[in-house]
Amino acid sequence: MIIGLVLSAISVLNPWVLKNIASFFQPAAMVDGCTLLKPEFGRIECEPLQHNPTYNEVFGKPGLTMRCGDNEDTPSCDYYITYRKTSILAPFRCSIEYVTSTGVRNTVNVDDGDYAFAATIPAGGYIKITAKCFGSGEKSAGIKEQYIPYGLNIYDSGLKLRYKTKGCNIVSIPEYQKVCTSGDCGVALAGGANRINWDDWVNYLSDWDTYTFSESKKIVDYNGGQVFCQAGLGLYELGEFTTVDGCYKFPDKLIRYVDCCPGMKTTSMVCQDFKWVPISQAEPESTECMSSMDCPGQGTFVPDYSTADTDIVKYACKNGQCVVAERKTVECQPPAIGCGPGYVCDVKTYRCVKQEGLLEYCGNGYCNRAMGETADNCPTDCAGMPNIVGYFILFVVLFIIFFILVFVVPRIPIPFVKFLPRFNPKVSAMIAAVIALLIVLMYLPFALKVASMVGVNV
């Protein structure tokens, strides 16, 4: 149990493990009700399970019938008529009459212990003995069935896996929910079918990576339709397919290469027509609003990086659009535009001040709201709040779960937990304290950053 606690603590404190856990909890991007992902497909085949045929043989009186497919999954069966002496008085050769579902009616002469080929009958068909020679005995005539059994094989990533199924019905296998039913996924399962035809296959979603939307990875409008944009790679048509459990979309054919996606911007560049353009050369964008609180700066002055001057502007909401209501030239713009060496621009006064300390200026990587930094006046620091709080909450939840499993569950009077070891309370408290201390030490820097971003003086 102690080893389990240590491994759990390591997993909590390992950033790569945390990254995987966090990505697991991130919801997948959706497009028109379909999950957006990068798919990989495998195939499920209905094919022979062996090269040598399997045999069945039964004896009986006239009326004896065998049907192809009653006990096997195969496209066809070969049938033979056989005879065996059941008494000393029985003849050595017997004439046996049979009929088949294909319309064949015939009589064959069979020696004791021999076989005479009768017919090849497709699945679902039958053969029946209708008469035999006099004096041969009640159960002297027989039918021998010969066939190649079929089953399911899965081909994925160069591997071949075989299911222990008696046939090619796919409803009972785990991959059934991901079997392709329509769309851009290769061979699809026929509508409403629950099996694969002999010597045929269907594709299924064997593996995938989901997408989460961001400024550099999103769905955008292009030439009147929706496409997938990924900055630095390109615009892609959206492919679509459905499986038994739902529908999926994925980036398919490349339309064109792009540098950036609409909505992306830096302190000096903005994305327009999928290319980076200096803010001073970019076409002005209008922003819809209901009040000045919906406009950049929320009614306060913010830097205007679109000109060569050190201007600040105040936006107002007029006729539903954010427009510049006031403009003035100031000494500097954050982080230090217009200031000399050793000086930075104060985001409150827009005057150059001597730099002192490490956390007190725009451009240091910390969004210090206590000194007035915002996404509008200091985008280098406040462009987006990292999901540190979400990670920290996740760690606390995991710690609580570990605590319950180790210290609470073993004390519950349930039969299945009575075998769990019980710790000395002092040892348990010490282990819990060590784990808590490790978590606090690991994430103290992140907590300081979160505090600075919400306006707490640190």
pLDDT, tens only, 9-42: 444 444 334 434 444 445 778 999 999 999 999 9
pLDDT, tens only, 211-259: 888 888 999 999 889 999 999 999 999 999 999 999 999 999 999 999 9
Whether 275 contacts 281, CB under 8 Å: no
Residue 120 has pLDDT above 90, yes or no: yes
- Element at 443 (helix H, strand E): helix 425-453
C-alpha distances (whole Å) from 4 to each of 8, 147, 402, 424 are 6, 54, 9, 16
Lowest mean pLDDT among 3-12, 123-132, 148-157, 316-325: 3-12
Residue range(s) of every CATH 2.60.120.1540 domain in the chain: 54-147
Measured CA to CA, the distance from residue 287 to residue 294 in angstroms comes to: 8
The confidence score (pLDDT) of residue 100 equals: 94
Question: Under DSSP, is residue 182 helix (H, G, I), strand (E, B) or coil?
Answer: strand
Amino acid identity, residue 365? Answer: G
pLDDT, averaged across the chain? 79
Q: Which residue has the higher pLDDT, 183 or 290?
A: 183
CATH topology of domain 54-147: Jelly Rolls (2.60.120)
Measured CA to CA, the distance from residue 274 to residue 257 in angstroms comes to: 9
Residue 453 has pLDDT above 50, yes or no: no
